[in-house]
C-alpha cells in the first residue's frame, strides 16, 4: 500500500503516514527499522504494510513496515 510520510521523529524513529484518502496512521520504531531506512522526510512517498483491521477501517490497523516507494 502507498502513503505519504507525514511526521517523523529521528530520536524515537516513529511517526505517521497519510493514506491516500487522508487518513493518518501512526508507526513505531520496529516498522521503520523493518524498512531499512535511515531517514524519512515529511512529504516523501512511502510503501507501507499493515496488519489488522480492514482496508476500509482504521480500527486495529498498525503499520509493520515503512520503506521508500520505488518505481
Separation CA 60–CA 70 (nearest Å): 27
Residue 10 has pLDDT above 80, yes or no: yes
pLDDT digits (tens, 9 = 90+) for 21-42: 999 999 999 999 999 999 999 9
pTM summary value: 0.84
Whole-angstrom Cα distance, residue 35 to residue 61?
A: 18
- 46-71 pLDDT per residue, tens: 999 999 876 555 568 899 999 997 76
Domains along the sequence of the chain with CATH: 2-68 (2.40.50)
Residues sharing a CB contact under 8 Å with residue 57, sequence separation 6 or more, in sequence order: none
pLDDT at 52 (0 to 100): 86
Amino acid at each position: 500500500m502507498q502513503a505519504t510520510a507525514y511526521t517523523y521523529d529521528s530520536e524515537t524513529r516513529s511517526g505517521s503516514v497519510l493514506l491516500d484518502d487522508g487518513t493518518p496512521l501512526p508507526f513505531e520504531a520496529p516498522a521503520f527499522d523493518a524498512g531499512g531506512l535511515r531517514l524519512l522526510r515529511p512529504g516523501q512517498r512511502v510503501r507501507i504494510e499493515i496488519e489488522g483491521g480492514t482496508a476500509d477501517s482504521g480500527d486495529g490497523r498498525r503499520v509493520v513496515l515503512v520503506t521508500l516507494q520505488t518505481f
